[in-house]
Structure 1
Amino acid sequence: MPDDAIEARIPASCPVTISEILRRAWHHDLAGLKALLSVPGRASVQEPTTGETPLHAAIRSCGARTQKNNNEAPAEKSASVDIEAAKAVVHELFLSGAIWNDVDSNNETPGCVAARLAQDDLYNECVSAGMRAELLFGLLDGYEALDSDAEEEDEDNGEDKANNREDAATNEDTEHQDDAPEDIILESDPDRAFLPPQTEGTVTSAAYLRANLTYTDGKLVDDQNNGVMMAWETSIMRSSVDALLPGLPAGKRILNIGFGMGIIDGMFRETQPSRHHIVEAHPEVLKHVETSPDCTFGKDWEASASEGAYKIYAGKWQEVVPGLLEQGELYDAIYFDTFGEDYSQLRMFFTEYVPALLDEGGIFGFFNGLGADRKVCYDVYTKVVEMHLADAGLDIEWNELDVDMKGLEKEGKGEWSGVKRRYWTLDKYRLPVITLMG
């Protein structure tokens, strides 16, 4: 367990300019903290060695909620902790530009700390702030997917970041802080709270389509060992098919975006659909379909039904799907699972195409791995997706599934052996079931 003591998180070596802000946040000194937050960037300063931000400090100092027995609601760890005061400080920090998904030296965001300590009210504050930030990024047309890889990159370079932040000082606010240092630290990039999280090191769609792929040991990986699709997802695919085709009736019209290992398409095929269209962009996946004896979705499969009923369309869905619209295609079930694309592409698909492609009574779903490497990001995306779907005239219900985490617990171990990044860490999966409103 992480050491949550103030001495561990705000050590004596912490520059006094940073320590002043962190300690006021830690002790929920709202009046004193407000006096320090008038300059952009101060709400997101970090301790150079622990990565502690004012948000981390304000939440961590509350301690863990404990449950006395099964019949009693959780009680605060200490009667001296004023959660309302903590909420007021957290709220003020967000208003002042605190960054909801900054990570500390434990690779925890403030929301992660709140979740670990079972501080539900503070956790919800973090989720709400994350949702507002993500919606803002979308409105600014600068949306990038949440990805904690970038946060880990920041953690690796935390010392450099902290040093960069110490490049300015001010004597402002001294009339409000008689005992405070005159040179309170400034953020070197005060606008970063209003920018999408950077995703340096993540795979772009263009890079993925150029990459060599390998099918091996129940995995599909690229030449950088990024997991494109893995066999552990099979149970999720099974539940998705059951949700998209309730009762598994024959004769339905199906569209799947992203073939990958062919897991879900194999399940769709078992229902004997009247139309089964697949869109796949990667040339090596398409080659696998045509040449591998393990794949049965090639030309013989296409020829087993009337012309055009069973077909794999080669190309990016952004190029193929408009043609399907022009042909007047309608589907009873649509599934979306691509790799190397950020959330903006999924949003574009369900905003611009799903309402026109989905027949009355049809169901749309997608592989919901949005932010699935940490709970707070997953919860933020849940709310963002709900709002964007409503704007597109679509209703959503979530079927929550248990995920068997055996073999998925540790980076580089078990199912993750030979895979660069553990992209799933949660024991619950929210399966989306999406229909046309009304």
Structure 2
Amino acid sequence: MADRASKEDILLARRIISAAERHDISALKLLLKEGSANVQDPTATTATSPLHAAIAACGKAEDRKEVDENAVKTVELLLENGAIWNDLNKEDETPGCIALRLGQKKIYEIMVEAGVRAELLFAKMEALGLSQDMEEEEEDNESREEQPAAKKQKVSEEVKEVQEVVEEKVLDDVSLDNRAYLKSQLRYKPGILLDESDNAVMMDWETQIMQRHAESLISKAGLRTMNVGHGMGIVDTAILTHDPAEHHIVEAHPQVLEKLQREGWYEKPNVVIHEGRWQEVLPGLVEKGVVLDAIYYDTFAEDYKALKEFFSEYVIQLLDPAGKFGWYNGLGADRQICYDVYTKIAEMDLYEAGFDTSWEDIPVPSDLHGSAQWQGTRRPYWTIDVYRLPINTFVK
């Protein structure tokens, strides 16, 4: 009976995938009453889901003037029936990655919107304490994409809650927990800062981006500024070229603080170093009534939830009504669709917190995608062509 059921499941999966590939909506509606929109043919080598198959069947955009309306309806039907927006096939592509590769703009936009809806729903469920069952279901689904490897703000929690005191080497990857990272050993090498797990904390290719962040936030000399997360000191150096009246640096890693001491940052005019995690430092500044004209956020081993807390709880209290807030936009930057999804989510959350967001696109160095750039690192944290620089001001 088990073998017969297994064969029936395989046959049903093949029929669902075939109907999706043909964009046969009538057949697909009937089949989805019996089976899942996330099935895979276990005998196939591609791990293609119905959503992958439906989009791949569209072909290259230049081969057709406009995508077939049945293809659009097929994709929408699968998503309505629970198809996973960031499911991976054996080629390490999400359905949205296929749409992007084929130049199917309309389909790609549908996938981005689906990703935004799914992640907002997940965040809402987490806030309501309803996400545990969902997380357990995802752990059982081997085809679910792992969260994107983001250098700074990971998009969501990847590990269970870690105790406040983290023993050294408990985690194989210290970027998964901020306290583990703060206890890890850093390595400053020419043009790069590495953590104990060989993650690149910062690289010198970011210099142009950091300089532009400083320019976008600071319009004239004599302003009150703050940067959270010193790293290699690129953005702090850029900020000082604009002659701020006071510049606050919040840094928690002992080795980075030693670097600040060694390089004389504590003695620089108008510079104030705050030792500790921003979660511990900023409440005191709020209590003292500190007001700033420009705030920049660039931490490591913290997820998007931390960034959201930062701007919704503290920037709104510390920033002058005419001030500007910026942050390193590394959300899901190892995959274009993830970057587009989380950029939209961030903009929505910022608006809810009272900010308008404008974006400036900056091309990244063309040689960044070469393997030599990432030699000696755990993984590339950036694989896309354009950095979207955010500038946030209070809604008027």
TM-score normalised to structure 2 length: 0.84
Q: For each residue in 1:326-360, what CA deviation from the matched residue of structure 2 results, as whole angstroms up to 9, or x when unmatched?
A: 11111111000111111011011111111111112
Residue 273 in 1 paired to residue 244 in 2? yes
In the alignment, the residues of structure 1 paired with residue 142 and residue 235 of structure 2 have an alpha-carbon distance, to the nearest angstrom, of: 43
Residue 206 in 1 paired to residue 200 in 2? no
Q: Trace 1:108-123 onto structure 2 (pairs within 5 A).
A: 108-123=93-108
Contact residue 116 and residue 342 of structure 2 kept, 8 A: yes
Q: Deviation at 1:135?
A: 0.8
Correspondent of 2:264 among 288, 296, 302: 296
Q: Trace 1:164-313 onto structure 2 (pairs within 5 A).
A: 199=158, 203-246=176-219, 249-291=220-262, 295-297=263-265, 299-301=266-268, 304-305=269-270, 310-313=271-274
Q: Deviation at 1:47?
A: 3.5
Q: Secondary structure at the match of 1:42?
A: coil
Q: Deviation at 1:133?
A: 0.9
Contact residue 198 and residue 377 of structure 2 kept, 8 A: yes
Give the letter aligned to residue 303 of structure 2.
Answer: D
What is the aligned residue count? 353
In the alignment, the residues of structure 1 paired with residue 255 and residue 300 of structure 2 have an alpha-carbon distance, to the nearest angstrom, of: 14
Unaligned runs of 5+ in 2: 1-8, 129-137, 145-154, 160-172
Give the letter aligned to residue 141 of structure 1.
Answer: E
Residue 409 in 1 paired to residue 377 in 2? no
Contact residue 157 and residue 303 of structure 2 kept, 8 A: no
Q: Deviation at 1:142?
A: 5.9
Q: For each residue in 1:115-165, what CA deviation from the matched residue of structure 2 results, as whole angstroms up to 9, or x when unmatched?
A: 00011111011001100011112212369xxxxxxxxxx9xx99x947xx9
Q: Secondary structure at the match of 1:140?
A: helix
Match of 1:54 in 2: 50
Correspondent of 1:45 among 35, 39, 42: 39
Q: Secondary structure at the match of 1:259?
A: coil
In the alignment, the residues of structure 2 paired with residue 320 and residue 222 of structure 1 have an alpha-carbon distance, to the nearest angstrom, of: 23
Match of 2:62 in 1: 66
Contact residue 232 and residue 415 of structure 1 kept, 8 A: no
Residue 34 in 1 paired to residue 36 in 2? no
Q: Secondary structure at the match of 2:259?
A: helix
Task: Return closer, same or farther for 1:47/1:341 CA change in 2, 3 Å cut-off.
Answer: farther
Q: Trace 1:394-405 onto structure 2 (pairs within 5 A).
A: 394-405=355-366
In the alignment, the residues of structure 2 paired with residue 161 and residue 136 of structure 1 have an alpha-carbon distance, to the nearest angstrom, of: 21
Q: Deviation at 1:34?
A: 1.5
Match of 2:282 in 1: 321
Task: Return closer, same or farther for 1:19/1:422 CA change in 2, 3 Å cut-off.
Answer: same
In the alignment, the residues of structure 2 paired with residue 116 and residue 19 of structure 1 have an alpha-carbon distance, to the nearest angstrom, of: 25
Task: Return closer, same or farther for 1:232/1:53 CA change in 2, 3 Å cut-off.
Answer: same
Identity over the aligned pairs, expressed in percent?
Answer: 46
Residue 427 in 1 paired to residue 385 in 2? yes
TM-score normalised to structure 1 length: 0.76
Q: Deviation at 1:93?
A: 0.9
Contact residue 401 and residue 430 of structure 1 kept, 8 A: yes
Unaligned runs of 5+ in 1: 1-13, 68-73, 77-81, 144-153, 166-195
Q: Trace 1:125-140 onto structure 2 (pairs within 5 A).
A: 125-140=110-125
Give the letter aligned to residue 384 of structure 2.
Answer: L
Bigger radius of gyration among the two: 1
Q: For each residue in 1:281-335, what CA deviation from the matched residue of structure 2 results, as whole angstroms up to 9, or x when unmatched?
A: 11221122223xxx331x322xx34xxxx21111111111111111111111100
Q: Deviation at 1:405?
A: 2.1
Give the letter aligned to residue 409 of structure 1.
Answer: H
In the alignment, the residues of structure 2 paired with residue 282 and residue 140 of structure 1 have an alpha-carbon distance, to the nearest angstrom, of: 33
Q: Trace 1:140-179 onto structure 2 (pairs within 5 A).
A: 140-141=125-126, 161=142
Match of 1:180 in 2: none
Q: Deviation at 1:437?
A: 0.8
In the alignment, the residues of structure 2 paired with residue 388 and residue 197 of structure 1 have an alpha-carbon distance, to the nearest angstrom, of: 14
Residue 84 in 1 paired to residue 69 in 2? yes
Match of 1:348 in 2: 309
Q: For each residue in 1:14-49, what CA deviation from the matched residue of structure 2 results, as whole angstroms up to 9, or x when unmatched?
A: 94332111111101111211222235x711122442
- Report the structure, 1 or 2, having the larger helix content: 2
Match of 2:65 in 1: 75
Q: Secondary structure at the match of 2:339?
A: helix
